[in-house]
């Protein structure tokens, strides 16, 4: 039972095979290969748009490159207090932008509240040089607390962003899980709703190390080749990045893997809801489960060797705080999570 | 015939297998896995020292992290005019150090001349705040023009570096080729000769995307976990980086692959020396061959589909310039270069 | 009636005279002059310590240099939500540190609460590379809401800072007003209480453009000559900076000017307390007055040509919010504020 | 006899008076004052153009702000090997641009050679992400070796700059001396010849600490208010910066002071040319004199207490190297240099 994170999983078999196949012969380096070319075409189909695609090896890489593409050193970037770029990337966005400032915006389940955002922007002292100037909004899909943004919700943020002449970034570390949950077209929840640039994640959902910056507004792409190179994120054997992503997209593998993870998470959630010894701390909309556990249930799971995290850096929703004796825990399901594992979990929790 | 670069090759079979094997089960993320732990122990053996090891995906990543570990924003870094960090990493060192300045030092075949270096440091206006202050020297092993630094030569640089209280970095993008050529212990040409920090390359010699920053003076390692994270170079599924490097080192694979590449380069060189239609532009000491070709030989090779680069960014040695009608070309052999390819090259050149 | 800010005042006469006198002859440039040498000695007397002194032209310059001296690019700097470095310097600290992150800490009247600070540091995931690491605390004396830190209060912060191995910076833009209010030795409220580095302000209190970074722990001073030069803050005719500061300190002028400003602020406060048409929003401890005004009083003052700011970026104390119809306003007294102006203000407010 | 630098002089009397006058009353801070407004209008007249004006306290400040306005982090900036931004600002341009790279271009007397520049740009691998991309050219007027760029010469550089879509910066630390020498309109040697942005110097020519970034292409001015603020270069009492510059321009004072300095330099040069014991190392076109002195003349001047620099960081012109026994020296005349001082110099040199 390993629910510690979706990045504790291995690599999906078709992706491993694609890596091996791509190795057979010589190929152009630094992106001058046929896999990279095919990936751009493939992403254009997936997103129904003439996107610019920059494959990289990590979500942090995709995020900091995106931030540097849309913000200047004196920019403000507004995001959730719990956004990965805010809390978990060791100031990478601040570094690569040359000193931009991240501002936390309130909201539930790590989704920023559109009204809070709107008020903040309306009262910003725009143009006054004493103050950092708002340039970008970043939202995470699915959010750090497992919530999924609907096309309508993204569109509402997008409308505010446009009104203020800003740019909208989506951190899609779990983009596949969100799209699988929504059942919508990838375009619906990105550029059609106002997203300018996307960190398209694959690693958490079955790739080895592969993400991509997807740029919907090509005017934003000019700086990215240079930013990627100077951060060491243009791989010499780029074909292996592209090959992973092609296999990931091929035949809808990405959504298939994500649907499995989501299903496993739903079963974990159902087990939690079925027992008085635990309760959900946030709605389970993708592949993450945040739950308050009784101390005894927590002990029982740990004793059974179940891997998961005690969550101490915050709670999903201020309106739903822990009660006396409860422990906030995070469980993440992945493409590799098995029915057996989830069944075992349900048993322990049911007995907890 | 593909001699365009050693990074146009694929992945050595044992490394591909190691990747597949590492994927079998769940494992701790962000370096909390058994491969990463084993790699540190293995590198300590290879280098006969208590090294700190930071695996990353690219040579540029290793170099910029190394630079940021040993230089401050107002530092000067001295290296060859032709150093990769100087010419090919799009200012990555400048970026991650916060604005350090790279100074080119003369020398032959992209090796800096120890006397030129020494004079430069002796006349530096040390401590004067108008001027950037020297902090680090970087040399490349094998050099960008295919020259190998002997332990004695590195030691001579190391002595100058110590005398001035600076730090010595080695860009070992082709470290295996150099060590294979020298037949020495890795320690002899690194820390025993005064190297403080090494960019240990594997990608050009058979890995998919794997290099490592090797820190010999652990005092320099404190900043690296944070620098690696914020540049997006700490992989969530780190085990796959470590697995590549373990397989690379296992049973001396790295030196075996490098010896093959060097041998192929030597045969290319022999073919060039055997014909009046071409001549070497630099000694061939590792796996790179720089040669002046007659126009007709160049045409014949291109016509035969041979892949290699016309080299326009400089010449290896000012004392050996091109003659009328000659074209400077670079040929690189890799672990994947075949005897058949080299034989075909020799035929064409012989007839050229 | 100009209470808009203490920096709307001119220059105190003795300081103007000192500038003129310093101009008489040739003098060494870039700090190689007798005024600069004398200033270091004079500051050592004022602070009863072997301080390193770096004169600069602005408080923002002093603050960003201080931040860069004590923080690294991956550092966290903790300060009040209302700190000048947080809100009013356009991200200067983020820029010069290479991307450090500022964290707001709760407290009243822009003073950080020592218990909140302590808890925050105790729960910081220290050493985890995902997270920015705390390096420095910055407090402002007098605070942005006009509160004065006593030696005991600074000492309490200093103790927390030491316990966690951090550094303590004091933004002393209104240091003179605070020291004048406290009647203590400058050392008591700085290094004796744990302050490592001080932005010593003079501009708001009668200088033309003169502040100084005062470094109590000389180990922190090594980088400052270079940081000052590369930010354009080492003046060629440095003598004029030093001359201003010498005149400012001479015969206790600085405290005399500050006492006057404080006295004028106290009279403004008294006038406010004497009328039902206004009330203080924060205790008046130095030369700033934050007050809630009735709409009619506000109109009357504006109509009389009184210059002051409507304060919209926050309130001093969450426990003391505005009531219906009240306007939060800031009035600042300076060395140039006259009894007549204050009298006129009292009249209008009294009638308000 | 102080010829050490033009920044060892004091402040011209009318400028001192203007500072004192500006102090009389309250005034808006951070540039919201009538002096700053008047300065913009005045500079528009001087340059016959709708310029944007950003007063700052130092030449390094003006230069680094200019560089950051026209270059991106991955930009190359081309300038003389001897340019102040290259050698004397401790990497300020690298810092504020976020890691741009400066490239030295050959030329005589610290003027870059237009043909060398042109060839360099024509062979630049444009758009290749491995390589920093050229963005800006910077020339110094008068040059670091005292040479003056004519409108035609600037225009030739400007044409190359336009052809390659780059920007042209002029470091005008001694702009007044150059314009006085040329007798042309300031516009002729700036925007009419293709200059986009100018560091307009005043400090070396009689101001206390006052320079200005003059932006001819207003599209380049957008970032400057924020860059100036975050580097600590927006003064709260900005009126004193503007007042200095207004007095400097008023009634042509700036050119009058510069003409005097140039005249004094010409007399120094004449004295040198009249003696066999010394010879000019570079043409004297503004207020700097570079000369090769015999050892005995050097000793005689030093013995007489004459202040000047032995110049060890280079020579003006490779075609005119020092002869056996000669010492390269720099003498700078300023507005404060007296006929008596120059006469005494001539006497000693004549007897040398």
Residue-wise pLDDT tens digits, A90-113: 999 999 999 999 999 999 999 999
Does the interface predicted TM-score (ipTM) exceed 0.90? yes
Task: For residue C126, name the pLDDT band (cuts at 50, 70, 90).
Answer: confident
CB contact under 8 A, A227 and D133: no
Task: For residue B199, name the pLDDT band (cuts at 50, 70, 90).
Answer: very high
Q: DSSP string of D244-266? A: HHHHHHGGGHHHHHHHHHHHHHH
pLDDT of residue C220: 96
**Mean pLDDT over residues A309-337, rounded?**
96
Q: Which residues of C touch A130 (CB under 8 A)?
A: 87-90
CB contact under 8 A, B90 and A64: no
CB contact under 8 A, D227 and A133: no
Q: Which residues of B touch C133 (CB under 8 A)?
A: 226
CB contact under 8 A, D203 and C89: no
CB contact under 8 A, D73 and B87: no
pLDDT of C351 strictly over 90 = no
pLDDT of B200 strictly over 80 = yes
CB contact under 8 A, A225 and D98: no
CB contact under 8 A, A223 and D133: no
Task: CATH 3.90.1150.10 in chain A: give the residue spans.
Answer: 254-350
Q: What is the pLDDT of residues B33-59, one digit of tens each?
A: 999 999 999 999 999 999 999 999 999
CATH fold of C11-253, please? Answer: 3.40.640
pLDDT of residue D352: 60
**Cα separation, A293 vs A273, whole angstroms:** 11
CB contact under 8 A, B95 and D101: no
CB contact under 8 A, B225 and C129: yes
Q: Which residues of C touch D63 (CB under 8 A)?
A: 232
Of all residues in chain D, what percent carry a pLDDT higher than 90?
98
The overall average pLDDT reported for chain D is 97
pLDDT of D87 strictly over 90 = yes
Q: What single-letter DSSP state applies at residue B16?
A: H
A→C interface, C-beta within 8 Å: 73-74, 87-91, 94-102, 123, 125, 129-132, 312-313
pLDDT of C157 strictly over 90 = yes
Interface test with C, best of A90, A100, A134 (most C CBs within 10 A): A90
Residue of chain D nearest C97, judged by CA positions: D95
CB contact under 8 A, A229 and B16: no
Q: What is the pLDDT of residues A125-140, one digit of tens each?
A: 888 999 999 999 999 9
pLDDT of residue A351: 73
Residue B26 is nearest to which of A2, A24, A65, comparing CB atoms? A2
**Mean pLDDT over residues B268-288, rounded?**
96
pLDDT of residue A11: 98
Q: How many CB atoms lie within 10 A of CB A227?
A: 26
pLDDT of residue C352: 60
Could you tell me the two tokens for A205? 């959902």
CB contact under 8 A, D87 and B131: yes
pLDDT of residue D162: 97
pLDDT of residue A352: 61
**Mean pLDDT over residues B285-310, rounded?**
97
Helix/strand/coil (H/E/C) assignment for every residue in chain A: CECCCHHHCCCCHHHHHHHHHHCCCCCCCCCCCHHHHHHHHHHHHHHCCCCEEEEECCHHHHHHHHHHHHCCCCEEEEEECCCHHHHCCCCHHHHHHCCCEEEEECCCCCCCCHHHHHHHHHCCCCCCCCCCEEEEEEEECCCCCCCCCCHHHHHHHHHHHHHCCCEEEEEECCHHHHHHHHCCCCCCCCHHHCCCEEEEECHHHCCCCCEEEEECCHHHHCCHHHHHHHCCCCCCCCHHHHHHHHHHHHHHHHHHHHHHHHHHHHHHHHHHHCCCCEEECCCCCCCEEEEEECHHHHHHHHHCCCECEECCCCCCCCCCCCCCCCEEEEEECCCCCCHHHHHHHHHHHHHC
pLDDT of B352 strictly over 80 = no
What is the least distance, in Å, from the CA of C38 to any CA of chain A?
A: 34
Asked if the peptide bond before residue B142 counts as cis, ω within 30 degrees of 0, the response is yes
**Mean pLDDT over residues C74-98, rounded?**
98
pLDDT of A300 strictly over 70 = yes
Residue D90 is nearest to which of B96, B132, B313, comparing CB atoms? B132
Residue C74 is nearest to which of A74, A90, A129, comparing CB atoms? A90
Interface test with B, best of C221, C222, C226 (most B CBs within 10 A): C226
pLDDT of residue C125: 87
Task: For residue C176, name the pLDDT band (cuts at 50, 70, 90).
Answer: very high
pLDDT of residue C87: 97
Q: What is the pLDDT of residues A46-58, one digit of tens each?
A: 999 999 999 999 9
The overall average pLDDT reported for chain B is 97
**Mean pLDDT over residues B180-195, rounded?**
98
Q: What is the pLDDT of residues D180-202, one digit of tens each?
A: 999 999 999 999 999 999 999 99
Specify the pairing of strand C101-105 against strand C75-80: parallel
Residue C223 is nearest to which of B72, B230, B234, comparing CB atoms? B72
pLDDT of residue B351: 73
Interface test with A, best of B1, B236, B305, B308 (most A CBs within 10 A): B236
**Mean pLDDT over residues A57-65, rounded?**
98
**Cα separation, C97 vs C117, whole angstroms:** 22
What is the least distance, in Å, from the CA of D243 to any CA of chain A?
A: 22
pLDDT of A251 strictly over 70 = yes
Q: Which residues of A touch B58 (CB under 8 A)?
A: 232-236
Q: At what angle do helices B151-163 and B114-122 cross, to 10 degrees?
A: 0
Q: Closest by alpha carbon to B51, among B212, B227, B264, B243?
A: B212
Q: Which residues, listed in sequence order, are joined to residue D80 by a DSSP beta bridge?
A: D105
**Mean pLDDT over residues C101-114, rounded?**
97
Q: What is the pLDDT of residues C12-50, one digit of tens each?
A: 999 999 999 999 999 999 999 999 999 999 999 999 999
Q: Which chains touch D (3 or more CB pairs under 8 A)?
A: A, B, C
Q: Which residues of D touch C209 (CB under 8 A)?
A: 57, 209, 235-237, 240-241
CB contact under 8 A, C88 and A130: yes
CB contact under 8 A, B129 and C72: no
- Select D254-350's CATH number: 3.40.50.150, 1.10.357.10, 3.90.1150.10, 2.40.110.10: 3.90.1150.10
pLDDT of residue B78: 98
Could you tell me the two tokens for A260? 């499995």
pLDDT of residue B190: 98
Task: CATH 3.40.640.10 in chain D: give the residue spans.
Answer: 11-253
**Mean pLDDT over residues A308-319, rounded?**
95
Element (H, E) at D27: none
pLDDT of residue A125: 87
CB contact under 8 A, C209 and D237: yes
- What is the CA angle B129-B133-B134, rounded to 5? 170
């Amino acid at each position: 039972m390993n629910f510690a994170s979706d990045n504790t999983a291995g690599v999906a078999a078709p992706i491993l095979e694609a890596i091996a196949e791509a190795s057979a012969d010589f190929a152009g380096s630094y992106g001058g290969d046929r896999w990279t070319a095919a990936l751009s075409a493939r992403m254009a189909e997936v997103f129904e748009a003439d996107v610019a695609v920059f494959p990289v090896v990590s979500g942090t890489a995709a995020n900091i490159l995106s931030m540097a593409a849309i913000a200047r050193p004196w920019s403000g970037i507004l995001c959730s207090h719990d956004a990965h770029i805010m809390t978990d990337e060791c100031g990478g966005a601040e570094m690569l932008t040359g000193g931009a400032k991240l501002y936390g915006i309130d909201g539930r389940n790590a989704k920023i509240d559109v009204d809070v955002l709107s008020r903040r922007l309306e009262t910003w002292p725009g143009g006054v040089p004493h103050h950092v100037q708002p340039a970008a909004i970043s939202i995470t899909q699915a959010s750090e607390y497992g919530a999924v943004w609907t096309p309508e919700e993204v569109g509402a943020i997008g409308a505010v962003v446009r009104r203020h002449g800003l740019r909208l970034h989506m951190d899609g570390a779990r983009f596949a899980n969100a799209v699988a949950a929504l059942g919508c077209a990838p375009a619906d929840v990105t550029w059609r709703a106002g997203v300018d640039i996307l960190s398209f994640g694959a690693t958490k959902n079955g790739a080895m190390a592969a993400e991509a910056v997807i740029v919907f507004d090509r005017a934003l792409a000019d700086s990215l080749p240079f930013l990627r190179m100077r951060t060491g994120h243009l791989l010499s054997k780029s074909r292996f990045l592209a090959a992973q992503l092609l296999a990931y997209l091929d035949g809808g593998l990405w959504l298939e893997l994500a649907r499995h993870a989501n299903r496993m998470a739903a079963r974990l959630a159902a087990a939690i809801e079925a027992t008085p010894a635990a309760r959900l701390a946030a709605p389970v909309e993708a592949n993450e489960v945040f739950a308050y556990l009784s101390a005894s249930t927590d002990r029982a799971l740990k004793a059974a060797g179940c891997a998961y995290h005690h969550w101490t850096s915050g709670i999903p929703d201020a309106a739903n705080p822990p009660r006396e004796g409860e422990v906030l825990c995070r469980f993440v399901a992945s493409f590799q999570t098995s029915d057996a594992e989830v069944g075992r979990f349900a048993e322990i929790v049911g007995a907890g």
